[in-house]
Amino acid sequence: MRDEGRFQNLLATEHDSCGIICIVEKDGYPSRDNIQKTIDALVKMEHRSGFINGEGDGCGILTDIPRALWEKKLTDAGLDGKLAYDERFSVGHIFVPRKLDISVADMQKGIRELFAQFQVNILLEQENQVDSSVLGPNGRNDEPTFWQIAGLCDKQEVKVADQLFELHVAIEAKYNVHVATLSNVTAAYKVMGAASILPKYYNDTRDPLFAAQVTIGHNRYSTNTQSSFFRVQRSRVSGTTARSTR
């Protein structure tokens, strides 16, 4: 018997038709080539992504934490660079909207208090390490503050992943921000634009030390949803077991 209701109310349900790629280094060693191949594949799959007035609907990559890069960042800040290889070391990529009643600074102050409450010590913060000039009009209009936080989990009786998950949930429950990733394993980079924009937008992706063992790439193709920065690369928990076996 045919299901008469199967195709009803389709417009009320969100639909996607995205392009996905994953590249893994079998030897367990991070490489820049891993990331470049993923981005090249996303560019080739741009026919599986949406465009509005010639501007991409969004794309992103999820990688293991670029530890050599964070070692340099910590060292340059006068900190112990080897902490980047500690299993308690975590990186948060938080996107804070600029057009809300509460200011970015006020939200950041409250989020720092949550880090302290959940016993995640903030080692280093970086803000807007991007090149906004590569974005199109839609991307610039919707561009949030990109806030990177390197932390060290200090709650001995709780697993690091559980501690970070609870903090992640608490942040988004209290503030209208998007935690792209908050993890001791992975980091997400996303942009409102075509795949070719991604490596030009982030300072990290342009750095020679940026390397990954596993990279998951995503081109967004929205069929009945509005284009939005915060809808790009939503698969922030995919591949969370990806880690270097070195």
39-62 pLDDT tens trace: 888 888 776 565 566 666 678 899
Note whether 65 and 186 are within 8 A (CB).
yes
Residue 246 has pLDDT above 60, yes or no: no
Q: What is d(CA 36, CA 34) in angstroms, rounded to the nearest whole number?
A: 6
pLDDT at residue 226, rounded to an integer: 54
Q: What is d(CA 140, CA 194) in angstroms, rounded to the nearest whole number?
A: 13
Q: What is d(CA 133, CA 214) in angstroms, rounded to the nearest whole number?
A: 29
CATH number of 17-231: 3.60.20.10
Domain boundary assignment for the chain: 17-231
pTM summary value: 0.82
> Which of helix, strand or coil describes residue 179?
strand
pLDDT at residue 120, rounded to an integer: 97
The values of phi and psi at residue 121, to 5°, are: -75, 125
Residue 16 has pLDDT above 60, yes or no: no
> Which of helix, strand or coil describes residue 91?
strand
Residue 223 has pLDDT above 90, yes or no: no
Q: Bigger pLDDT: 231 or 20?
A: 20
Q: What is the pLDDT of residues 91-144, one digit of tens each?
A: 999 999 988 889 999 999 999 999 999 999 999 999 999 999 998 887 788 889
DSSP 117-169: HTTEEEEEEEE--B-GGGS-HHHHHT--EEEEEEEEE--TTS-HHHHHHHHHH
